[in-house]
Amino acid sequence: MTARKKGTKEEPYDVVIVGARCAGAPLGMLLARRGYSVEIVDRNAAGADTLSTHWIRWPGVQRLRAWGLVTELEKTGCPPIVQACLDFEGRVLSGGPRAGGIEAATYAPRRTVLDALLVAEARASGARLRERFAVTGLIVTGGRVAGVRGVGPDGPADLHARVVVGADGRNSTVARLVESPAVEDRGILARSLYGYWSGIGEPGIRVVFRGRRGISLWPTHDGLTVVSLVFPPDQAPGRGPAALTEFYTSCLREVPEVGRALADADLVSPARAAAVRNARRRAHGPGWVLAGDAGHHKDPVSAQGISDAFADADGLADALDTGLSGAAGLDQALARHTATRDAHRLGTFAYTCEQAELRPFGADFLADLTRTAADEQAVEAFLNTFVGCDAPADAAWLGDSH
């Protein structure tokens, strides 16, 4: 007897996931590991570059470790980051963050490497991947989403599924097609520019806040350092690649501490620009659910998006398992998952918006930092918070799903 083709009306997939990156690929991996039939589709090729810097904070690294992927990531040549130097208007806190007494290594992998690794692991776990397939519509049966319609290299296709996951980023097609309303939209609060530099050679993270600008340096693959500049939307850099790069490099070099780090370095890429809305959407409905940036996105200033997308994949895999196995109703399981997710994310959402407003630091905060800088234990505690070693929301969320 020949196996029936999956994805048909008669033989739907358990889950079709739209988007094969930080939310979609690990979700596909986790569901396939539990024996569910999954197809992940993406309009791009797996591991194509995307607009993003790369720092994975400690909660995200913990998830990669739980999935067995930290060693794989290190094998790609991604340097572990064990030192951090934070400079707030000249108050400098530096040292090595620790989690439970051990060195808390974090990573800033190129997305071409990270996303390809996640997709490879999803496929090795049994998920199917359809690349260069753009979802353009949904199959709706009896008021429930029951699959996707799209176009790929082989022409148009319908893929039927018991659940469709929109892990398709902040401009989510799935969210648009189900007309998911924004629950909260704080708009664009900051802009950013980033580029890759050779010859910096600092092994740790450096973050410098001066005036209403924030600059971050993270070592990444190939001996390069990714350097990002965050600035208020009213500071206009001008139009066109040359103007952007000129604004970017002059803002960096204006800060002596950064200028010194860049003294013998070369910018090896054009500056890339981004402006991200801070918004949350209703994230589930009959037969559909959103994961990662599709449901909740925010300014990159807090470097939370990758870790949050991993957390969504973890929590949603549990919820889908509960619903698809019949342990509870699918819609109830998804409703519970999104309510828990929202509760855990409200804090980081509010904190990110506050950071993205780039308001000048108050005198009390700076005086506190001066005291902190003089106390070794207080410095370590501050750095731990910065990398997320002590993140109460993430720790609670991790507890939910492990």
Ligand X SMILES: Cc1cc2nc3c(=O)[nH]c(=O)nc-3n(C[C@H](O)[C@H](O)[C@H](O)COP(=O)(O)OP(=O)(O)OC[C@H]3O[C@@H](n4cnc5c(N)ncnc54)[C@H](O)[C@@H]3O)c2cc1C
Q: Would you tell me which residues interact with ligand X (CB under 6 A)?
A: 18-24, 41-44, 50-55, 134-135, 167-169, 173, 192, 274, 276, 292-294, 300, 303-307, 309
Residue type, 125: S
Q: 24 or 237: whose CB is closer to ligand X? A: 24
Burial (CB count within 10 angstroms: exposed 0-12, middle 13-18, buried 19+), residue 161: buried
CB 384, min distance to ligand X, A: 18
Q: 51 or 367: whose CB is closer to ligand X? A: 51
d(CA 111, CA 306): 10
CB 362, min distance to ligand X, A: 26
Cα-trace Rg, the chain: 22
Q: 57 or 91: whose CB is closer to ligand X? A: 57
Q: Match 């957390």 to its residue by tokens.
A: 311
C-alpha to C-alpha distances, 28 to 146, 313, 351, nearest whole angstrom? 18, 8, 30
Q: 86 or 369: whose CB is closer to ligand X? A: 86
Which parts of 177-326 are beta strand (E)? 182-188, 191-198, 205-210, 213-219, 224-231, 266-267, 272-274, 277-281, 284-285, 288-290, 296-297
Residue number with the smallest Cβ distance to ligand X:
305
CB 150, min distance to ligand X, A: 6
CB 54, min distance to ligand X, A: 5
Q: 147 or 169: whose CB is closer to ligand X? A: 169
d(CA 86, CA 209): 8
CB 28, min distance to ligand X, A: 11
C-alpha to C-alpha distances, 379 to 81, 158, 368, 385, nearest whole angstrom? 17, 55, 11, 10
* Cβ atoms of 19 and 129 closer than 8 Å: no
Q: 274 or 373: whose CB is closer to ligand X? A: 274
CB 374, min distance to ligand X, A: 30
Q: 59 or 323: whose CB is closer to ligand X? A: 59
CB 326, min distance to ligand X, A: 28
Q: 215 or 276: whose CB is closer to ligand X? A: 276
Residue type, 87: D
CB 41, min distance to ligand X, A: 5
Q: Phi-psi bin for 236: left (phi > 0), alpha (psi -120 to 50), beta?
A: beta
Judged by DSSP in three states, 67 sits in: coil
Which parts of 100-243 are beta strand (E)? 102-103, 128-130, 134-141, 144-152, 155-166, 182-188, 191-198, 205-210, 213-219, 224-231
Among candidates 227, 306, 229, 309, which has minimal Cα distance to 274?
229
What values do phi and psi take at 68, rounded to 5?
A: 80, 25
Q: 78 or 369: whose CB is closer to ligand X? A: 78
CB 277, min distance to ligand X, A: 11
Quote the crossing angle between the two packed helices 305-324 and 58-66, to the nearest 10°: 40
Q: How many CB atoms lie within 10 A of CB 35?
A: 10
Angle 148-345-206 from CA coordinates, rounded to 5°: 110
Q: 353 or 369: whose CB is closer to ligand X? A: 353
CB 115, min distance to ligand X, A: 7
